[in-house]
Amino acid sequence: MEMKRTWIGLLAALPFSAIAHHGWSEYDTTRALTLTGTVAESGWEHPHGFVKLETPGKTWIVVLAPPSRMENRGLQKAAIASGMTATVEGFPNRGKPEEMRAERITVGGKTTELR
What is the pLDDT at residue 17?
A: 42
Consecutive 10-residue averages of pLDDT for the chain (115 residues): 47 44 80 98 94 97 96 94 97 97 96 94
What is the pLDDT at residue 115?
A: 87
Query: pTM for this one?
Result: 0.78
Residue extents of the structural domains in the chain:
25-113
- In words, the CATH class of domain 25-113 is mainly beta
Q: 3-class SS at 55?
A: strand
